[in-house]
Amino acid sequence: MTSSTVLAERYGVPPRGRRRALVALVAVVALAGIVWVGWTVTVHSRPQVTSQMVGYDVHGEHAITATWTVVRRDTDVRASCLLQALSDDHSVVGEVTVPVDSGPATRQIRSTLRTERRAGTVQLVGCTTQAQQSPE
């Protein structure tokens, strides 16, 4: 007697339909998982708005001008971009939120920030939209 025969005599033979149902259920769950991952990658891999700092110019004790690029997925996407002027000790000395409503999808913007004291650099925190709450 083989071990499979002994096990079949002891516990009985499982019905054939149960194994097929289990395989079908696993296949459906796996397919649903693959579809969900594909949807997630497609939707979230291309944000509605991205931004990048190009450069800045310090204009004395109380002003700094930043040049930065914003790229929107579509021209009708309304974005809000946050810039911060930082002093040499890395404290925030000025801040401005710039709305990006119209114009081409990709554009370069110059913004002047008023500062409470001399700024050493400008940080582009990022841009958000109604649907994209984390800055990119």
For 94-105, how does the pLDDT look when each residue is reduced to its tens digit (9 = 90+)? Answer: 999 999 988 899
Helices (H), 1-136: 3-11, 16-44
* pLDDT tens-digit map of 28-70: 999 999 999 999 888 777 888 999 999 999 998 999 999 999 9
Class of 49-128 in CATH: mainly beta
Burial class (CB in 10 A: 0-12, 13-18, 19+), 22: exposed
Domain assignments of the chain as residue spans, ordered by start? 3-44, 49-128
0.85 exceeded by the pTM?
no
CB atoms closer than 10 angstroms to residue 115: 22
What pLDDT shows up at residue 19? 81
Angstrom distance (rounded) from CA 24 to CA 32: 12
CB atoms closer than 10 angstroms to residue 70: 24
What pLDDT shows up at residue 41? 87
